[in-house]
Each structure stands twice: as structure tokens, then as C-alpha cells.
Structure 1
Amino acid sequence: MTQQYDNMFRPATRTARLNAIEQALRAHVITSQAQLAAILAQQGIDVTQATLSRDLDEIHAAKSRLADGTMAYMLPDHDPNMHPEDLVDEKEEQHMARVLSGLVTSVARANNLIVIHTSSGAAQYVASVIDRQITQEVLGTIAGDDTVLVICATDAIAQEKTDWLVNID
């Protein structure tokens, strides 16, 4: 059985649920398990409090104090003093630029698709870095040994991402 939300179908599996939890924690300031369960329910994922508690423990999410004093669930790789929307724009983009600048050898675009050529063996890593972005602009990636296919939501987004990739230093 699958669940659909925002043009995306999510299989009703544990792995898909854990991924949805990680995405929710990266995209929202979540202060309680009830709030997280409500966000998941909007995506068609019904989860008990006990399961949610185990899932949070498994992905090593813990409550951290934000700059404004609020206690919120955060993943271990997030700075608790930054808001989730800032993470995409600044921290993630800087991290991506550092990683990709040494691995990307060429970039080409066709409509909403971007083809990224990398050093041999680096495509899987480059794809995983791109997949970790908190955005609905990039629908997903497919990676081989030295080539990554990035599927963007629109042609304009693909052009924007291509321009960024070409100009990273």
C-alpha cells in the first residue's frame, strides 16, 4: 500500500516513515511528539506515540534548545540555533558547495533534468548530498558510478540549479 501527498507517493514501510520523520524535523520546528504525529498524519502516515518515540530514538533525534529558548526535536547534524528554513538557504548550500566543488566535472541540462558528471565513484555520494536538501524543487536523483541524474520540478528550477552548479567554487 502507498500513501500520496504533494505529487509524491510514499510506501507504507518503516524506512519511508523514518525518512518522513527526518524530513519533517528538517523542515519544521517540532516541539512535541504530538505535533510530529500531526504532520505525519497530514502525509497519510498514522503512527502511535510508542512507535514515534522508538523512531526518534533510532534516528538519534533529541530535544535541543533553540536560540529563542524553545525546546525542539533536532537531528544530530543540525545546529540547534538555526531555524530549519535557514538551514536550506545557508548551511546546506555551503556544505553542498564544499562537497560538490571537488567532485563535479561537468553539468548539462535538458528541460527539467540535470545530468551531473563526477569523478569516478563519486556519483552516489553527490546524489545523497543533493537528496538531503530540504526542498520540493528537486524531486529526486538517480546515480551511477560517475553520473547523477537530478529530476527537478520545473524547467526554471533546473536552470537555476544548473547555473548554481556551474558557478560553485
Structure 2
Amino acid sequence: MTDHTPALQRPATRAARLSAIEQALLTRIVTSQSQLSGILADQGIAVTQATLSRDLDEIHATKTRLADGTVAYAIGVQQPDEGPATSPDAKAEQQISRVLSGLVTSVAAARNLVVVHTPSGAAQYVASVIDRQPIEGVLGTIAGDDTVMVICADDPSAKQRAQWLLDVVSKG
């Protein structure tokens, strides 16, 4: 079975580089800056060690010991006195539920899109919250005044994400 997910292409900007670094740290076990540099190079992003070091500092990436003993970079890791860390998916759900529960008025899937309605003036904020979370199958959003279009990789992803978003905002 072939993966038909469109390849994410990034412009050669600092913001795109930081986004690529965050995505790599959220989706892979990265144990060194040279490994991360290789991952970025595979995406067409050339970066010096000094720049990579500054970028990791800027996004508050830290080296953390994983359950299996491996030491790897992580972002958004809780300190020991903050309680147990949650997975990125659970974290995304908690954040979205807390922030969006009063702002989403309806959700519908239409082919590979999810149409989200909000009160007037809230769509930009809702889109921003969705864009900041690593949500599988979601490529990005477009927002107007009271409507957000969530672009998904394919039709089944849109149906799953529409139901997921309804469930998440209903919890809050």
C-alpha cells in the first residue's frame, strides 16, 4: 500500500525551519544534533550546527531520558514535579478541548475538508489553535470570519478529524 499523503514543502525561512525542527522532535526520537541536521537535510533544509543549537534553545528543546533509557531531544516536557507527561495526541486534545469548547458551533466533513463554524470573529483564533497542534492527517487551515476550513490529506482523514474535533470540543 502506497502512502498518497502530499509531501509537505517548506519555504527557506527561519519560521519554516523551526516548524520542521519541532515536527521532527514530536514525531521521532532524535538523540543528537547531527541526526537532527540529517533529518532537516532530507527535507532540503541546510543548517549549521550553531544555528541548530540556537534553534533548539529557542523552542525550549531539552535532552530527556526516555523510559527505555535513551537520551533524546524533546519539547514541551514537564518537569518531574509537574506530574506525568502526556503523549502529544493527548496533549493536543487537552489543549484543543480547553480552548475551543466554547468557540466551535458546528463541524462537518466535505471530501478532504473539515468545515468548522465559530461565532463571528473567532475563526482566525480557532484555526491558529488547530495549526499549532501536531494532528495526524491535517495539512493546515484557512480561516475567514466565522468559518475555518481544515485541509486533510484525504477524505477518510477528514471524516475522522471531523468526528474527533466534535468529540474533543464536546468534552470542554
Instruction: State the TM-score, normalized to the length of structure 1.
Output: 0.82
Separation of aligned partners in 1, 2:142 and 2:66: 35
Q: Which residue of 1 aligns with 2:77?
A: 78
Measured in 2, the distance between the counterparts of 1:99 and 1:22 equals 21
CA distance in structure 1 between the aligned counterparts of 2:101 and 2:159, rounded to whole angstroms: 18
State the 1:34 CA deviation: 0.8
2:131 counterpart letter in structure 1: D
Distance (whole Å) between structure 2 residues aligned to residue 37 and residue 18 of structure 1: 12
Does structure 2 retain, via aligned residues, the 8 Å contact 1:136–1:153?
Answer: no
State the Cα deviation string for residues 4-24 of structure 1 (Å, max 9, x = none).
Answer: x95222111122111111111
**What percentage of aligned pairs have identical amino acids?**
63
- The equivalent residue for 2:25 is 25
* Partners of 1:66 and 1:82 within 8 A in 2: no
How far apart, in 2, do the equivalents of 1:144 and 1:115 lie? 11
Confirm or deny: 8 A CA contact 2:113 2:150 kept in the other structure: yes
Q: Which residue of 2 aligns with 1:13?
A: 13
Q: Which residue of 2 is the match for residue 145 of structure 1?
A: 145
The 5 Å alignment of 1:17-166 reads 17-75=17-75, 77-79=76-78, 86-88=87-89, 90-166=90-166
2:105 partner SS: strand
- Higher share in strand: 1
Distance (Å, rounded) in 2 between the aligned partners of 1:82 and 1:34: 26
Q: Note the C-alpha offset of 1:37.
A: 0.6
For structure 1, the 5+ residue unaligned runs are: none
TM-score, normalized by length of structure 2?
Answer: 0.81
Using CA pairs below 8 Å that are at least 6 residues apart, which structure has the higher relative contact order? Answer: 2
What's the C-alpha RMSD, in Å, of the aligned pairs? 2.3
Task: Report the residue type matching 1:78 in the other structure.
Answer: V
Q: CA deviation at 1:145?
A: 3.0
Cα 1:78/1:118, change in 2 over 3 Å: farther
